[in-house]
Amino acid sequence: MKIIGPIAGIGSRLRPFTLSKPKAFINISGRTVLDHILEKFINTFDSETELILIVGYKKRQIIEYVRKNYKDKFKLTFIEQKPQGFTDNVPFFRGLGEAVYITNERFKSVTIENAKDNKREGCLIFLGDMIPLDEYSYLMYRYYESDVDGIITVMRVPEEDASSYGIVETDDNNIIKKLVEKPQKFISNLAIAGIYAFSHSTTMKLFDILSLKLNNTKQNGSEVYLTESLQDLVNEGFKIAAVELKKGILDFGKPSGLLKGSKFLLENNFSKQDNFHKNNIEVDRSWINNPTYIGKNSRILNSVIGPYVSIGKGSHIEKCIIENSVIEKNAKLKNIITEKSIIGSNVNIENISKDRLIIGDKSVY
């Protein structure tokens, strides 16, 4: 099975942090969001698995980082999604549908001899700002052991929030009948949760559908949504099952989701005082409320930090009270009182008492 990761987008909902880096590179609990995603794949897939990353915005950062850290973990392929155009020097793309379609050449030379080959030679698609809490082994078991052409993960959301998601409607056997992107009228509370797995024949049909949609919208360059093409698959008789995530998913696509995801990750990976010396972490006249993560070569002076604070490496924090926040690497903070804030890399700020701060990389105040 080939893994497809569309990570070309600019992450507009996470501006200003994505002005200087891809959205998958925001650092939480000592790792980038992309690291947290790929580490879960390593637990389920072997090093012979092809990982196809669709890159665009900040592509060089992604390619260099992934090659350096994952060349022994996967067979790596990078495919560039070309911008449709630019607005104020910021690229815009033709959507998730195009990102998936441009991987089609990686599937054409595959030989399928039986039903097992058909499933084994298919694809798994993930999104670069979502981390399922369930293990992929559970999802792949549901895919391989069910008499279906593919699966789509779903999660239950409150009825009042359903219009903000791609929504599916299923029959009594959890087979999808309808998919609607951000429906205006309530259909169901099963929201698409960003993981898809399809057999080889289903994948090839999906490419055909996407190709037709891309050609039909070539003149106006409009975005091609994956959800609409999946509905076409269902209409043509492909049996796609909705698999509900038992534990849910972490969505890092916007600031509120980023903070919520950070809280969960910190519960499982926070700094212990026994490791401060080894990691060159200085904590003087300060109180650290765990779960809190402190990156290497950081200094915490005369401060109260935590709970639920992630601090990137090389940071200097003095006379601060900080709770439930994400602070990226090489931050210099002095006399800051805040909670529920996101503070970027290489910032230098002083004398602020305000909650819900959003401060981009390299800011000085």
Joined together, the tokens standing for residue 246 give 């038992």
pLDDT digits (tens, 9 = 90+) for 10-61: 777 778 887 888 888 888 888 898 998 999 899 889 999 999 999 988 899 9
Superfamily of domain 270-359: Hexapeptide repeat proteins (2.160.10.10)
Q: Which residues pair with 292 in a beta bridge?
A: 309
- pLDDT score recorded for residue 114: 92
Q: Please report which residue ranges of the chain form alpha helices under DSSP H.
A: 33-42, 59-70, 95-101, 115-120, 136-145, 200-216, 226-235, 255-268
Domain ranges of the chain: 2-257, 270-359
- pLDDT score recorded for residue 221: 65
Contact 204, 211 (CB under 8 A): no
Contact 119, 232 (CB under 8 A): no
The chain-wide mean pLDDT, for the chain, equals 91
Joined together, the tokens standing for residue 328 give 């990226």
Per-residue pLDDT at 79 exceeds 90 = yes
Contact 287, 270 (CB under 8 A): no
Residues 6+ apart with CB under 8 A from 334: 317, 318, 319, 320, 349, 350, 351
β-strands 150-156, 27-28 pairing: unpaired
β-strands 309-311, 292-294 pairing: parallel
- pLDDT score recorded for residue 20: 81
pLDDT digits (tens, 9 = 90+) for 127-154: 888 888 888 888 899 999 999 999 999 9
Distance CA 95, CA 74 (A): 25
Average pLDDT over residues 239-258: 87
Is the pLDDT higher at 68 or at 249? 68
| Total-model pTM | 0.89
| 13 phi and psi angles, rounded to 5 deg | -75, -15
DSSP SS3 for 142: helix
The secondary structure of 50-107 as a DSSP string is EEEEEEBTBHHHHHHHHHHHHTTTSEEEEEE---SEEETTEEE--HHHHHHHTTGGGT
CATH topology of domain 2-257: Spore Coat Polysaccharide Biosynthesis Protein SpsA; Chain A (3.90.550)
307 preceded by a cis bond (ω within 30 of 0) = yes
- pLDDT score recorded for residue 174: 94
- pLDDT score recorded for residue 324: 96
16 preceded by a cis bond (ω within 30 of 0) = yes
- pLDDT score recorded for residue 240: 96
Is the pLDDT higher at 108 or at 301? 301
| 65 phi and psi angles, rounded to 5 deg | -65, -45
The secondary structure of 253-301 as a DSSP string is SSHHHHHHHHHHHHHHS---GGGTTTTT-EEES-EE-SSEEE-TT-EEE
Q: Which residues pair with 336 in a beta bridge?
A: 352
| Own/partner pairs, 209-213, CB within 8 angstroms, 24+ separation | 209/233, 210/97, 210/98, 210/100, 210/101, 211/101, 211/104, 213/97
In the chain, % of residues over pLDDT 90: 63
Distance CA 284, CA 235 (A): 64
Average pLDDT over residues 180-190: 89
